[in-house]
Amino acid sequence: MLKDITIGQYYPADSIIHKLDPRVKFVGTMIFIVSIFIFNSFPGYFVAGLFLASMIALSKVPPKFMFKGLRAVFMLLMITVIFNMVLTPGDIVFKLGFIKVTREGLIMAGKMAVRLVFLISGSSIMTLTTTPNQLTDAMERLLRPLNRIHVPVHEIAMMMSIALRFIPILMEETDKIMKAQIARGADFESGNIIQRTKNMIPLLVPLFISAFRRANDLALAMEARCYHGGENRTQMKPLKYERKDYMAYLILIAYLAAAILFRVFKL
């Protein structure tokens, strides 16, 4: 299950999308997410879908990968669809006992499903084509104005990239600890909620201790390599806009304009 989450996973490939400045991809993803809430009709969703499909094609990431990310949110999707279907008042299409499915409900459910699928796939394009480090770099640069109101932007970005590096390590460690405790007769599967939570202690204590130890080691290692915060720090891969990035911004603006026009003219 955890392996199915594609967010935060990088898929190496040589594509135009991979080569774009991460800031463009970050802003682009934001614009796309905004657009799927601006579009409010199925023709509009068709435009958004077309845009999404061409981005997926350009990214050279196999669509199979994209859909793997959807599998993880399948439950959430089903719940949203069902709630919308049965809880929206309007013309009743059919009744099953006290459950009434309305026309408006079906439309609403359809829209929500489309939006969710677009939302997840849209953000997956970004995470699949951008290394976590590029992504945090982009955030650091885009959020830099917040420095003036004393938001520690560099520190937050550093924390995020370290988290991204250690999540797979800690997941593997969780698996090892679980096995070690199962070998001692631990039971992580049966019992009621309270018992199960209690049964997690032999897993969580070693995991936390290890995480703290790692944090401690890492802090030392960073200090040893002259890390002293963001001040006077240079970058190995500084972000620089190129022609293709400006082009991409133009396309994004055009796309956003289309979305607004669709909304204004109620297409």
Partner 1 sequence: MSIKLENVMYTYSPGTAYEIHALKNINLDIPDGQFIGIIGHTGSGKSTLIQHFNALVKPTSGTITYNGDDVWADKYDRRALRSEVGLVFQYPEHQLFENDVLSDVCFGPMNQGLSRAEAEKEARRALLQVGFKEENFSKSPFELSGGQKKRVAIAGVLAMNPKILILDEPTAGLDPKGRDDILDQIAELHKMRGITIILVSHSMEDVAKYVDRLIVMNHGEVAYDNTPKEVFKHYEELEKIGLAAPQITYIMHALKDNGLPVDADATTVAEAAESILKALKEKGGQKHA
Partner 2 sequence: MGIIKALKLGFDYLKYDDDGNVESTQRAVDDVNLDIEAGEFIAILGHNGSGKSTLAKHMNALLLPSEGTLWVDNMDTASEADTWKIRQKAGMVFQNPDNQIIATVVEEDVGFGPENMGIPTADIWTRVDDALQKVGMTTYRHHSPNKLSGGQKQRVAIAGVMAMRPSCIVLDEPTAMLDPNGRKEVIKAVHELNKTENVTVILITHYMEEVIDADRVYVMDSGKVVMQGTPKEIFSRVEELKHYRLDVPQVTLLAHELKKNGLDIPDGILTTEELVSVLCR
The size of the interface with partner 1 (CB under 8 A), counted in residues, is 19
* The one among 8, 49, 90, 202 contacting partner 1 by CB under 8 A: 202
Q: Is 181 in the site for partner 1 (CB under 8 A)?
A: yes
Q: Which is nearer to partner 2, 149 or 236 (CB)?
A: 236
Q: Which is nearer to partner 2, 165 or 244 (CB)?
A: 165
Q: Is 3 in the site for partner 2 (CB under 8 A)?
A: no
Angstrom distance (rounded) from CA 31 to CA 132 = 20
**By three-state DSSP, how is residue 252 classified?**
helix
* The one among 37, 46, 188, 227 contacting partner 2 by CB under 8 A: 227
Dihedral pair phi/psi, residue 15, rounded to 5°: -135, 165
Q: For the chain, what's the residue count?
A: 267
Structure tokens given for 184 = 């001692």
Q: Is 179 in the site for partner 1 (CB under 8 A)?
A: yes
Angstrom distance (rounded) from CA 232 to CA 229 = 9
Q: Is 186 in the site for partner 1 (CB under 8 A)?
A: yes
Angstrom distance (rounded) from CA 6 to CA 65 = 7
- 205, containing H or E segment: helix 201-224
State the number of CA atoms in the 13 A half-sphere of 239 facing the CB: 19
Q: Is 222 in the site for partner 2 (CB under 8 A)?
A: yes
Q: Which listed option, partner 2, partner 1, none, makes contact with residue 228 (CB within 5 to 8 Å by class)?
A: partner 2
Q: Which residues bind partner 1 (CB under 8 A)?
A: 173, 176-177, 179-187, 201-202, 205-206, 209-210, 213
